[in-house]
Structure 1
């Protein structure tokens, strides 16, 4: 029996011992690989967001600083849109500066058709003094005979100017005919919402008014008598009545 045990005793360098050790090593490697590269280990460990909630449980889209949400960063377009008062002020300032330069150039050349002054330093109300009219007209001769130096006009501008016309009236002298109505209102389609265009300027309006006085055979009233004085309140009421009449029957221009 002792001989048989010695015969079948395994030696340390035999092939059977190598196979046993290889199996042990393979088992260890498989255990290490299963613990390090198991797919389930990655899916079972959710990442945490800065607020303490996990992305696996709360499927939320968190905006970054590089990609902000449009609702959070998009500016309100209505706040960037200029108001009517801003548009009016810009337009009137531009026109007033251009008229002042034009008047200055004409004065240097010895010719002053009209001047413009701001009422109470406000761009929204102007006083216009018209000095020059057609020298062949009866209105011009009346000015010379009565020593009337100029015709004073007053212009007020609505909030939606230049998309709406200014209100222009005669302050002095007291004019008859020439499309001048009670209170100093002026019956001219150009000064209505139907005849007005935003491209028109006050210089063009003044020139058109001068032509309408001559065309309408305006005269300066010598004896006022019981005639009503020109006033803004009366002129506004008269102009509203004129607009109603022409809205009903239309505007007729002479050929």
Structure 2
């Protein structure tokens, strides 16, 4: 078994053993039993944030030289956030680019993305509309917009909602 696969299996075992410690991560697993370089993750919006109640799916692609290079992570479920491109799901987060270190794991990366939801960085936006609301100090407008998009894209509808 190659070193990347060994590392990924260890990370999967570590995550599964400690999953109960991270309720914001609903799922973190290989997307296919045959391919350890493609994972999926699901994160939940944290309570007391405008993302509360939402569930977002992420696509995680692991490069052949992981952990020397970061994984490529993007949102599959549409999300409105200053640091996420609304159409492509691309995430602007330093650890996915210049601040990456082999000490990071897939679990810690997904936790950092979860934390980014409630701690946006409007000075490096991929979604200028959301970032401008924060930069102008319109927290009410920002949170209302986030709640609306969370309800539209990230909440499971019940039959009575349809």
TM-score (norm 2): 0.68
* Residue of structure 2 aligned with 1:153, choices 47, 54, 58: 58
Which of 2, 5, 13 is matched with 1:97 structurally? 13
Cα deviation, residue 211, structure 1: 1.1
The alpha carbon displacement at 1:99 in A equals 0.6
Structure 1: gaps spanning 5 or more residues: 1-84, 225-255
**RMSD of aligned residue pairs (Cα, Å):** 2.3
Contact 1:178 1:213 in 2 (8 A): no
For 1:153 and 1:223, how far apart are their aligned partners in 2? 17
When structure 1 is superposed on structure 2, of 91-100 and 178-187 the one drifting more is 178-187
**Tell me, which stretches of 5 or more residues in structure 2 are unaligned?**
121-141, 154-162
Count of residue pairs the alignment pairs up:
125
Using the alignment, how far apart are the partners of 1:136 and 1:178 within structure 2? 18
Q: Between Structure 1 and Structure 2, which shows a larger proportion of strand residues? A: 2
Residue 184 of structure 1 pairs with residue 89 of structure 2: yes
**Structure 2 counterpart of 1:124, from 11, 14, 37:** 37
Instruction: Give 3-state SS (helix, strand or coil) of 1:197's partner.
Output: coil
Q: Aligned-pair distance for 1:117?
A: 2.5
Structure showing greater relative contact order (alpha-carbon pairs closer than 8 Å, 6 or more residues apart):
2
Higher-Rg structure is 1
Q: Secondary structure at the match of 1:175?
A: coil
How far did residue 223 of structure 1 move?
6.3
What are the Cα deviations for residues 120-139 of structure 1, in whole angstroms up to 9, with x where unaligned?
212111111113x4311112
More helix by share: 1
| Whole-angstrom CA distance in 2 between matches of 1:124 and 1:206 | 15
Instruction: Indicate which of 204, 213, 228 corresponds to 2:108.
Output: 204
Q: TM-score w.r.t. structure 1 length?
A: 0.45
